[in-house]
Amino acid sequence: MGTPYPFLHPDRDAVLSELHARPLHLIDAGVRVRRVVLVVAPVAGAMRAAIERFSAFATPLGIDCAERSARQYSFKTETRCVTWEFHTEFITVTWYAPLDDNENWPDDIGLSALGDAKLVGATRVDVIEGAALPQTLLATFRPESLCAASVETGKAQVATDFVPDADGFTRFEFAAGGLTAFRRSITLRRLLEIETYRTMALLALPLARETAPTLRAAETELEALIEGLSNATTPEQIQERLAGLHALSVRSGQISEKLGYRFSAAQAYGEILRMRLDKLREATLGHGSSLTTFIGNRVEPALATCEAINKRIAVLSAKIERGIELLNLRIGLDMQIQNTQVLETIARTSQSQFRLQRTVEGLSIIAITYYLLGIIGYALAGPLSVLHWDKTMALSIAAPFALLGVWLSMRAIRKKVH
Task: DSSP letter for 117, please.
Answer: P
Residue 206 has pLDDT above 90, yes or no: yes
Could you tell me the pLDDT band of residue 8, with boundaries at 50, 70 and 90? confident
- Give CA–CA dist 87/65, Å, rounded: 16
3-state secondary structure 355-401: HHHHHHHHHHHHHHHHHHHHHHHHHHHHHHHHHCCCHHHHHHHHHHH
Q: How far apart are CA 201 and CA 300, in angstroms?
A: 10
Q: In the chain, pLDDT over 70 holds for what percent of residues? A: 94
The CA-based dihedral angle spanning residues 181, 186, 192, 197, taken in that order and rounded to the nearest 10 degrees: 180
Query: Could you say which DSSP state residue 260 is in?
Result: H
Give the per-residue pLDDT at 35. Answer: 96
Size of the chain, expressed as the number of residues it contains: 418
Q: What is the mean pLDDT of residues 96-100?
A: 93
* pLDDT(2) > 70: no
Contact yes or no for 160/175 (Cβ under 8 A): no
Residue 69 binned pLDDT confidence (cut-offs 50, 70, 90)? low
pLDDT-based confidence at 221, cuts 50/70/90? confident
Q: Tell whether the model's pLDDT for residue 302 goes beyond 60.
A: yes
In words, the CATH class of domain 204-342 is mainly alpha
Read off the pTM: 0.76
Average of pLDDT values for 384-407? 75
- pLDDT of 396 over the 70 cut: yes
**288-297: long-range contacts, CB 8 A cutoff, minimum separation 24:** 288/141, 288/143, 288/145, 288/146, 288/147, 288/148, 288/159, 288/161, 289/146, 289/147, 290/147, 290/149, 291/147, 291/149, 291/158, 291/160, 291/194, 294/145, 294/147, 294/162, 295/194, 295/198
Look at residue 418 and tell me whether its pLDDT is greater than 70.
Answer: no
Asked whether residue 309 carries a pLDDT value surpassing 70, the answer given is yes
Is the per-residue pLDDT at 20 higher than 70?
no
How large is the average pLDDT for residues 254-276? Answer: 92
Burial class (CB in 10 A: 0-12, 13-18, 19+), 63: middle
Distance CA 280, CA 172 (A): 14
Inter-residue contact 159 to 125 (CB < 8 Å): no
The dihedral formed by the CA atoms of 45, 47, 52 and 53, expressed in degrees to the nearest 10: 120
Dihedral of CA 136/152/266/41: which sign? positive
Integer Cα distance of 125 and 162 in angstroms: 12
Q: Tell me the C-alpha distance between 346 and 226, whole Å.
A: 37
Q: Is the pLDDT of residue 1 over 60?
A: no
How many CB atoms are located within 10 Å of the residue 340 CB?
Answer: 10
Average pLDDT, the chain: 86
Q: How confident is the model at residue 273 (pLDDT cuts 50, 70, 90)?
A: very high
CB of 93 within 8 A of CB of 110? yes
pLDDT digits (tens, 9 = 90+) for 157-205: 999 999 999 999 999 999 998 899 999 999 999 999 999 999 999 999 9
Q: Which of 19-23, 51-55, 119-123 has the lowest mean pLDDT?
A: 19-23
- pLDDT value at residue 263: 93
Domain ranges of the chain: 20-181, 204-342, 352-411
Mean of the pLDDT values across residues 343-367? Answer: 78
Q: What is the pLDDT of residue 342?
A: 82
Q: Phi first, then psi: what are they for 34, rounded to 5°?
A: -125, 145
Percent of the chain with pLDDT over 90: 43
